[in-house]
Structure 1
């Protein structure tokens, strides 16, 4: 169960997937951590993960139960599949056997007697079994038995210091509630982990951790039939690798000409335009060409189902099925509320770091904003972080942005997100002599020069076709496009 962090210091694993990542490796040995949260937030499960991992590593563990009936702890452990046959359980809950005898009731008649007696029971158990890890759940039960706050703090501080001096790594749990504040407990421990109930999902955040940096923010927490896991919030500053810039060809010479040879790898490009103009198809064209070179791409679709996406792609000569079979493409359809933003970024990181994806496409900024839980009031801040992460990792990012006005005054992005992009490719419907046509052009490209002309775009059964430049086209940026006649 012992690990080391980036500075070579010993760490104690929490036993929970994702939490060690948040804590830069896990608990520091011989420290005390307060795990706090409202009822139902998973404090006992959090503790059982820690002790079960210790048992798996042949460490000696002790669970001091002050709250729930003894059978509840055992039943909860079995329900989540924890092997706790080697767990030492000290049951001091109000439903315990010692509370049923007349002698015990007399002994616990006075608060001044009760609290030292409970502490002494814990001391005796620790000295007998010499545990490596101890959980006291919940430590706030002591408050009911202490005559005043001062006595409560003194008893907890004495208990924590005793356990640490015995070489124990300690986890205390606290029922966080306005009716029973635990600010004083937070001052007495080395670390504070908060389990919270967000508007649509559980979260974990670390408000205190002596001796080490941790990942900040409210990270997604999930409780499933297998127990608990945490999806850390993406921090692009923690991810970077060496990479070189090159040109990513679309395989369509005229489109590459617009882009001065293609997209620059390791940059973010917005494909911006109204519905039906060909944004997704244009992005898939770059992926198709990359697949021919054996490069892997991943497309996250927020606004189109898998069947429709596949049928449309195959109809324009983009063989997504064959690309998936060869392992050069992965398509993930993200439905509304299906994932939290942290789960999504974890999937994205796995594609980049484990599966070596070189192109990532986020298909639909509106869907991205509306589909992911836990995105807060400004979902675009998460897209900014994803963009920075992809740049740091040398991955090419494609983002389709739907401009809801099919005609009228032109805007590259409805959400004024152009500052997020290194490049902006615009696609637009225009009318010419009573027929509707599509045009494509480049509005912005930070990394290189680009062709400042518009070209006609056609999407046919043979694929993407880009025509010659259209110098006769006027007024597309003013919202009233028209064509200059040869006689003008």
Structure 2
């Protein structure tokens, strides 16, 4: 059965079984009630009969007023309230009354919110006996049942509720000076091929939006392609042995001012002109700044975007949610049928993903996702200045790149000379000598190979 929440079905492996029990746990303010209610209301919209059991000191009218702030709220849901202080002291009476209500309504889905306050004042042994009695009753309800509860992560597994439920969803949040990052993970799933790991989510007036962690496994059924893709600069295509391989991941490494962005934009504009839509992912320059930058070379980037040939995804590094960013990329690819992607620059992930291994895996997942769909990707990477040839192992994503193009500039006799080298290219007999290049009103222009300089070394 679908939960009715985009992203949640995906991480659960398709939804929840019916009948089944799901415990939505977390600390206060993490969105447990919102998640449960959103699923309940989505089911009600599809014609299911649902019941919200609210254990609260608030009356039903006030609860409806609070829930009505969300756009997903359905007025026709059934709500029954139980006073929290009574439930803490006398849970058995509540269980009998709730059983009578459920026998009368015969709901398809039920949310009990929260279950951790039931019998709160009882000794642990008595609370465990009550929970097993509740579980016996649930088995007769033949419904999808959600519980919410306030628990720290370390206390979830030791709680008796963990023994009786099929699924455990844990919500948490981290605060820093710039933003709040919310996480959702599965601590227990029964009978479904779930996606493990820490996924992220947002809460807004439309409810909860979940962004699954993307592992993008390698698709071994896709054969390697020998088809070439023009980068938009014929001499550079020639140096590469005929262009980039379709579906490959390619890296442009260079210091500030070497023309990495210009080369990437030229790659995207070349594709757009040939009917190959492209996505630009940028962390620093806004779309308006990119339009102006492209216009300096006579490229109508704005016009191509308005025609649906190009999509620009601009995100500030400080606000970047990697999972949400991946979902935005997938959506953009689907909307325009993208065949090219330009990421400028990979160090934008440094702020959002502190762990270098996790950061590398995220970039690898992005390139695998592109490769699985036959999309050719071009990424830029900033290297320190005044280095003649950046070492491959100093470039953190070099192992996932099929080709590495390095851009360098040196001051020679008061003239700033730019040179390009193909440091690596899998499966292609590329040019081994570096080449001079320049950036002028036409964009990125290859001048000639530096064979003489190479022989001196």
Normalised TM-score (structure 1):
0.86
Question: Which region of structure 1 is more displaced relative to structure 2, 28-37 or 66-75?
Answer: 66-75
User: Is 1:434 equivalent to 2:424 in the alignment?
Assistant: no
| Counterpart residue number, 2:115 | 139
Matches for 1:209-220 after TM superposition, within 5 Å: 209-220=189-200
The residue number in structure 2 matching 1:87 is 77
C-alpha contact (below 8 Å) 2:215/2:365 kept by paired residues? yes
- CA gap of 1:434–1:208, structure 2 versus 1, over 3 A, is same
Alpha-carbon separation, structure 2, partners of 1:47 and 1:255? 55
Equivalent residue for 1:325, pick from 306, 310, 321: 306
The structure-2 alpha-carbon separation of the partners of 1:416 and 1:20, relative to structure 1 and needing over 3 Å to count, comes to closer
Greater CA drift, 410-419 or 44-53: 410-419
In the alignment, the residues of structure 2 paired with residue 356 and residue 464 of structure 1 have an alpha-carbon distance, to the nearest angstrom, of 26
State the alpha-carbon separation in 1 of the partners of residues 387 and 218 from structure 2.
Answer: 43
- Structure 1 residue 27 and structure 2 residue 16: aligned? yes
Kindly provide the CA deviation profile for residues 307-331 of structure 1, in whole angstroms up to 9, marking residues without a partner as x: 3322222212333223223322222
SS of the residue corresponding to residue 237 of structure 1 reads coil
Do residues 53 (structure 1) and 47 (structure 2) align?
A: no
TM-superposed CA distance for 1:380, in Å, is 2.7
Query: Cα deviations across residues 314-370 of structure 1 (Å, max 9, x unaligned)?
Result: 212333223223322222221133331111000111122343111111101222322
Q: Which residue in the other structure is 1:369 paired with?
A: 350
Aligned with residue 32 of structure 2, among 43, 65, 70: 43
Give the SS at the match of 2:374.
coil
**Are 2:183 and 1:203 aligned?**
yes
Take 2:153 and 2:4, find their aligned partners in 1: how far apart are those partners?
Answer: 30
Q: Secondary structure at the match of 2:217?
A: helix
Is 2:375 the partner of 1:400? no
Identify which of 183, 188, 196 aligns with 2:159. Answer: 183
Does residue 247 (structure 1) correspond to residue 228 (structure 2)? The answer is: yes
Q: Could you tell me which residue of structure 2 aligns to residue 342 of structure 1? A: 323
TM-superposed CA distance for 1:453, in Å, is 1.1
Q: Distance in 2 between matches of 1:29 and 1:86?
A: 22
Aligned position for 1:120: 96
How many residues are paired up? 449
Task: State the distance in 2 between where 1:391 and 1:141 align.
Answer: 50
C-alpha root-mean-square deviation of aligned residues, in Å?
A: 2.4
Instruction: For structure 2, list consecutive stretches of 5 or more residues without a partner in the other structure.
Output: none
Instruction: Check whether the contact 2:247–2:371 (CA below 8 A) recurs between aligned residues.
Output: yes
Correspondence for 1:287: 268
Residue 376 of structure 1 deviates from its aligned partner by 5.0
Q: 2:239 touches 2:431 (CA, 8 Å); kept in 1?
A: yes
Instruction: Provide the residue aligned with 2:204 in structure 1.
Output: 224
Q: Does 1:62 align with 2:51?
A: yes
Partner residue of 1:174? 149
* Structure 2 partner of 1:5: none
TM-score (norm 2): 0.91
What is the CA-CA distance between 1:145 and the residue it aligns to?
Answer: 4.4
Is residue 315 from structure 1 mapped to residue 315 from structure 2 by the alignment?
A: no
Match of 2:137 among 141, 155, 162: 162
1:129 and 2:105 are equivalent in the alignment: yes
